[in-house]
Chain A
Amino acid sequence: MSGIRAEGVSIELGGRRVVDDVHLEVPPGELLALVGPNGAGKSTLLTALSGEKVPATGSVLLDGRAIGSFDALELARTRSVLTQDNAVSFPFRVIEVVEMGRSPWARTPGREGDADAITRALARTDVEHLVERRFTELSGGERARVSLARVLAQETAIVLLDEPTAALDLRHQEDVLRIARELAAAGRAVVVVLHDLSLAGAYADRIALLEQGRIRALGAPVEVLTQELVAEVYGLDVEVLVRDGRPLVIPRRATA
């Protein structure tokens, strides 16, 4: 099978089991959102899916092949990762940063697509007007979008995004999820870690709700984001409205 497949993945950090026996499958063409409270193990699970961490037990398969059997460059041509660390140590120009996303394709036939991939990535993330600016001079939201452009320029079959909306305003949050949708529609397997449940509910094909390292629920947004489940996992009283078949999660606030 192509796409990503996690079989009984567990990860231990400092003797603590942060991800516990996770089974997950994301076929090409699907957008999966990973949600859950702080410390539920979302980002850690993503590090296993990206090949950055070797799971204590279980295995991860990319395109049907054990992730450990990829070398670093092969892996970079198969999956791209947007991390939460988007600092750049030296004042590179935005265009240079996005070009770095093409580096795995250097000395391969894929390099002929460099210019197109970069143009597309810049347009999609709405950063064309920034190309000549220094990355270090950008605002947090601009940096996040440029980093996303770099990841898109990598043009891989599997795309992993760790909280891509964290620094973004309302419009750009929607833009990022729309891009993730388009990627899935174009046949990529996309995994997005999100905090905003309504955003996840609006765009994801399926949602995996994590609780203390385990998958508590996995399925279509309306099945996973139910009033009872969200209230229980997050320890917060919420109301879930369903619009056009998509759940909207609203905390119930005590009126003063």
Chain B
Amino acid sequence: MSRIAQLARRRAILGVVLAVLLVVAVLTSAVVGQFAVSPAEVVGSLLRAVGIPTSWAPDDPTTEAALWVIRFPRIVMALAVGTALAVAGAVMQAVFGNPLAEPGVVGVSAGAALGAAFAIVTGLLAYGEWTIAVLAFAGGLGATLLVYGVSRANGRTEVVTLLLTGIAVNAFGGAGLAFLLFVAGSSSREQIVFWQLGSLSGSLWREALLVLVIAVAGTIAAVALARRYDILALGERNARHLGIDVERLRLWSIVLVALLTGAAVAFVGIIAFVGLVVPHLMRMIIGPAHRSLLISSAVGGALLIVVADLLARTVVAGAELPIGLLTSLVGGPFFFALLWRQRRASGGWA
């Protein structure tokens, strides 16, 4: 079998595997927790919600409440955040022409977190959830534009400049965040830890749905641009010669990255490395063509965050780990390996 046909088969297999794993992960996540619920009850409750009565549906209102008030919104939030972060990562890598670009690594998440924290601290939150999302978007947009403006030369991004810019933006964003929380006085160390390492604890329906809408719309927009991202891999000049309006593509993509990252960070804080690890794994399995890469990253990101959140709340009995701690624990070494490989491939740090 030719390698091209092999790739097509791999894409199909990957799609099925991801879908099955996602369903299993979501069900497990709904079942496991301090309050025991059986898988049958979860399915029964879901079926009842869509108007199909079954004998499985739980009679106990406490079970209903545990599922619908606490676990389901949290799972929806996990799905939405994972999708948003993974797609934002893949889009960023396409536009920067560099597999190491990622919202957390280069400081877009920090910018978004700063914006979100500003909304909360200054009391703008009183006007509604969307103020957080809007300011997170603004913060993320500022950071993306900054990184993009600084780290590019001749239509491509050098690794060193990209990462150094990321360090600076992350440091500034992190310090700004800590300062805001400190000045507000409201701020315990937990607040800072929450923003820097993220947590899905206490997710509300209206927040989760807002993030979900943005994640789905953003993914659709990114997939619509997929063919253009493929051609952009030839470099800006070559893409332009093939009829791509590079400036417009770039502008929309930066807005898209800021929007997705802002939505992901606004309510759950910074969860780093998702946008790096997921697209990279997918690229290894099915190749770099962006249509399938973006779709599989969207699903893979959702899967990763659902599983990571499940671990975050079950690994240590009676306590919750920050979810970003887990993703960074895996993502850090992964990032290092990637960096190492790229250095070897290019014969230097350029």
Contact = CB atoms under 8 A, between A and B. Distances in A.
Contacts of B231: 100, 103
A145 B113 CA distance: 47
Given A89-B233, A100-B234, A154 B156 contact: no
Given A83-B237, A91-B287, A92-B289, A132 B244 contact: no
Interface residues of A, number: 32
Interface in B187-237: 227, 230-235, 237
Nearest to B96: A89
Interface in B140-161: 154-156
Interface in B112-141: none
Interface stretch (A26-34, A57-65, A69-77): A69-77
Interface in A84-102: 85, 87-93, 95-97, 100-101
Contact of B97 (A83, A89, A104): A89
A93 B2 CA distance: 12
Contacts of A131: 4
Contact of A72 (B4, B230, B240): B240
Interface residues of B, number: 30
B229 to A, nearest CB: 9
A220 to B, nearest CB: 30
Given A91-B287, A92-B288, A85 B242 contact: no
B283 to A, nearest CB: 7
A154 B97 contact: no
B3 to A, nearest CB: 4
A47 to B, nearest CB: 9
A237 interface: no
Interface string A119-137: 0000000000001100010
24 contacts: A52-B237, A72-B240, A72-B244, A72-B245, A75-B243, A76-B242, A80-B241, A81-B238, A85-B154, A85-B235, A87-B156, A89-B97, A91-B283, A91-B288, A92-B288, A93-B7, A93-B287, A95-B4, A96-B230, A96-B287, A97-B234, A100-B230, A100-B231, A132-B4
* The 10 nearest A-B residue pairs measured at CB: A76-B243, A90-B288, A89-B97, A73-B243, A81-B241, A89-B233, A132-B3, A104-B243, A72-B243, A90-B233
